[in-house]
Structure 1
């Protein structure tokens, strides 16, 4: 493990680390914010999953989340969005390959060797984070766009592992929109049944744990009608009796201006569950 950045921030420290991932077969960079409370004892952890084209820097530099994490005593962990480096498969398009891992475990070549972001987020990353005495095993998960998809899917598939989940502008039904169809066909193949394990709308139909979902979506989002379709999640949750708070925010788009405007609400939502 190598610490790349160490910056004072709201009484705590914003760090960036590089560590070797055996699951992904490459080095990964991860942003970790330690609130001031971490100096006195272990703190719960909120895992943040970013969207297409992002790495660990987008959230830690644009969201303004550290202020709220410091208030509530929460560690923030923001990993990169895909494996990267020499020998890691890639594509010229922005929505496939490096920067576009989609939080799935790929089964098709050339992706299967490195693109195992689901296992990395669920198992390897928390084991690495929680080896530090500052971090407890009390967890929450959140994300934006592709990362919102990842957060919802991971929480729904792992009952009891997370105290809370939220998402900004998530791809709620990747099996039904162009971004998801392209990525899933490449990473998982043409069997649409295999896609359902990474589709929040499909998963809500049969989950045992009714973990409440908090979703914020801007109504001026340029991807709302074509890629995001939050109405599909609302319908699935209504049919399954699954708790969902879907907040349509007037005038907001898909950017980090939107995330920065409501990240305080989300961290307060997670803090309540993490301290329960």
Structure 2
């Protein structure tokens, strides 16, 4: 992985990285925050993977969430991948739509043309990016995964499908039941085809039903979120979790919307959540 930029932050370091992805068949970028403990301690530094939402890239969370000061205090590293493959040869929505194509990878492995050559975001995150970062930064140890909106969907589905990788999962305003909302139906039809059995492999509500290992899950949702009823559907998540006896903490916050103002208000709570389960794992 090539370091393209180093920036000092809270006595730690924010890095911008790029590499050629064999999985996505294009150049990919990511951002990595290393807390000061990474340089000054001989112990492992826990790593949180953060997945951002529609239209975002690897920079949004680092710049807007206000997480780095508290992460530095706790001694946590944060890895932010891009939200999709990019480049001149990478397919995009033919009409320029913001909820498909570039910036809208949905953290799945596409099986349909023209997407399947590049849009392999699930394998990219799990089998290539994390592996590469842990190899290049050997004092890091993977612990938690989190995200916002589409990225919340990604964090929940990746954590549920790969429970051996993580100690904990959290999400802000996640798309919890994409097979039953417009964003998910549009993306899944394009990326996965019309077979809804294939869709269920990337739907949190369906994955909860299949979960053999119950990782701790924290979800925060703003009650004033304009996407709440039509796209996010946390009530569906809570219903299936109760039916499957999967303990999930779902906190609804009056007055909060879908923005990074909401994320920045509660990001320290999520870092504490992941830190608790990391310490329990030691």
What is the TM-score of this pair, normalised by structure 1? 0.98
**Structure 1 match to 2:222:** 218
Where does residue 16 of structure 1 map in the other structure? 16
Query: Displacement, 1:134?
Result: 4.6
Counterpart-to-counterpart distance in 2, 1:44 and 1:137: 5
Distance 1:274 1:135 in 2: 15
The answer to whether the aligner puts 1:158 opposite 2:158 as a matched pair is no
Aligned to 1:75: 77
2:171 aligned to 167, 181, 203, which one?
167
**SS of the residue 1:56 aligns to:** coil
Equivalence map 1:1-276=2 (5 Å) = 1-39=1-39, 40-41=41-42, 42-91=44-93, 92-276=96-280
Contact conserved, 1:151 with 1:167, CA < 8 A, in 2? yes
Q: Distance in 2 between matches of 1:100 and 1:20?
A: 20
Contact preservation (8 Å) 2:167, 2:216: no
SS of the equivalent of 2:101 reads coil
CA distance in 2, matches of 1:141, 1:163: 9
Partner SS, residue 3 of structure 1: strand
Please give the alpha-carbon distance, in whole angstroms, between the structure 2 residues aligned to 1:224 and 1:5: 37
Partner SS, residue 209 of structure 2: coil
Deviation (angstroms), 1:192: 0.3
How many angstroms apart in 1 are the aligned matches of 2:136 and 2:3?
A: 14
Residues 32 and 77, structure 1, Cα contact 8 Å, conserved in 2 = yes
The alpha carbon displacement at 1:139 in A equals 2.0
Distance in 2 of aligned mates of 1:135 and 1:105: 29
Check whether the contact 1:38–1:134 (CA below 8 A) recurs between aligned residues: no
State the alpha-carbon separation in 1 of the partners of residues 119 and 265 from structure 2: 32
C-alpha contact 2:53 2:151 (8 A) present in aligned 1: yes
Contact kept in structure 2, 1:45 and 1:135, CA below 8 Å? no
- Matched-pair contact (CA < 8 Å) for 2:143–2:274: no
TM-score (norm 2): 0.96
Query: SS of 2:188's equivalent?
Result: helix
Deviations 1:27-71 (A, max 9, x none): 111110000000023311100000000001110000011111111
Gaps of 5+ in 1: none
Task: Kindly indicate whether the alpha-carbon contact (under 8 Å) linking 1:159 and 1:208 is maintained by their aligned counterparts in 2.
Answer: no
Shift of 1:136: 3.0
